[in-house]
Amino acid sequence: MFRISENSVSEEQVMFPSSSGVDLYGVVYHARDEEKGAIVICHPDGDERTWSHRILVNLARLLASHGYTVLRFDYMGQGESEGEYEQGTLSTRVNDTRSAIELLLARTHRTEVGLLGLRLGGTLAALVGTTHSAVTHLVLWEPILDLHAHLYNLLRINISFQMVMHKTVLKNREQLAEEILSGGMVSINGFYLAKEFFRESMETKLEGIFQRANGKRLIVLLPNSSFPADGDGTVLRLQFPVFWKEPKVYHSRPKTVMEETLKWITQHSTSTR
């Protein structure tokens, strides 16, 4: 059931400062052979980070083994980075992404970088991609397109929890939202939603963000996911496991999505130093 695999990628753990005011943890996966480009991976949030973590590690290794230097990092208050989860806001996550880009550009002596994000990480990649001139490529896996709806879906998790604990719903979604906006915190499987993240997310409109983002874009979606018409980006619909939720079946390398992503990056990467 277990095998020792040879990992030929050189990896380096790093702690680096974010403009959010904390040190972030990351791993640089050095390109094997001649470096073709630099890519920052943006992870999804909370529980979704937990379940997708290994897949993003394997993705980083795959890209590095095909000539890309990759930085995979943890947002403030998540994984190994400093700070508390509930202190993180949409702005701190954007700042963290920008700090990660700066680190990778400095490390590789490049002027261009690609961003690859999953779920909220995809949304953050697109948000940063609209303002950061070094971003030339975006790969977004099932990005969150509507933050308002996303937050209300998260609150549903709390309501399910109430049903398990109390056999009834003590607070509905509107009441939970009100509690957060008045300074309280609401647990989503132990990740606490706090006011600033909630408020910022509610106020951030994503219409057109995927069209406005700089550079070339690949958007990978499940067959039934909705997505607005995208100008010149590639929308690829693939069948792959929803690996950011707690699985019953273990997948460490969802083949289709990883292979198609690598193929697209290889075809479209013209990153320069």
Q: Which residues bind other proteins (CB under 8 A)?
A: 1-5, 7, 11, 13-15, 21-23, 25, 27, 47, 50-51, 53-54, 57, 78-85, 87, 164-165, 187, 189-192, 241, 247-253
- Cα separations in angstroms, 51 against 59, 122, 187, 245: 14, 16, 18, 6
Token pair for residue 77? Answer: 């208050």
Give 198 or 210: the residue with its C-beta nearer to other proteins. 198
Q: How far is the CB of 66 from other proteins (least distance, A)?
A: 18
Query: Residues 58, 133: contact at Cβ < 8 Å?
Result: no
Give 191 or 264: the residue with its C-beta nearer to other proteins. 191
| Strand-pair category, 191-193 with 186-188 | antiparallel
Give 229 or 249: the residue with its C-beta nearer to other proteins. 249
Q: How far is the CB of 229 from other proteins (least distance, A)?
A: 33
- Cα separations in angstroms, 44 against 81, 101, 119, 253, 272: 14, 17, 5, 17, 28
Which residue, 73, 64, 83, is CA-closest to 117? 73
Cα separation, 182 vs 43, in Å, equals 29
Give 18 or 123: the residue with its C-beta nearer to other proteins. 18
Give 226 or 250: the residue with its C-beta nearer to other proteins. 250
Give the bridge partners for 216, in sequence order: 137
Q: How far is the CB of 183 from other proteins (least distance, A)?
A: 16
Cα separation, 273 vs 35, in Å, equals 10
Give 36 or 53: the residue with its C-beta nearer to other proteins. 53
Q: How far is the CB of 80 from other proteins (least distance, A)?
A: 6
Q: How far is the CB of 164 from other proteins (least distance, A)?
A: 8
Q: How far is the CB of 46 from other proteins (least distance, A)?
A: 8
Own/partner pairs, 256-260, CB within 8 angstroms, 24+ separation: 257/141, 257/220, 258/58, 258/59, 258/62, 260/220, 260/236
Give 161 or 227: the residue with its C-beta nearer to other proteins. 161
Give the bridge partners for 72, in sequence order: 27, 41
Cα separation, 42 vs 96, in Å, equals 10
Q: Is 160 helix (H, G, I), strand (E, B) or coil?
A: helix
Q: How far is the CB of 251 from other proteins (least distance, A)?
A: 4
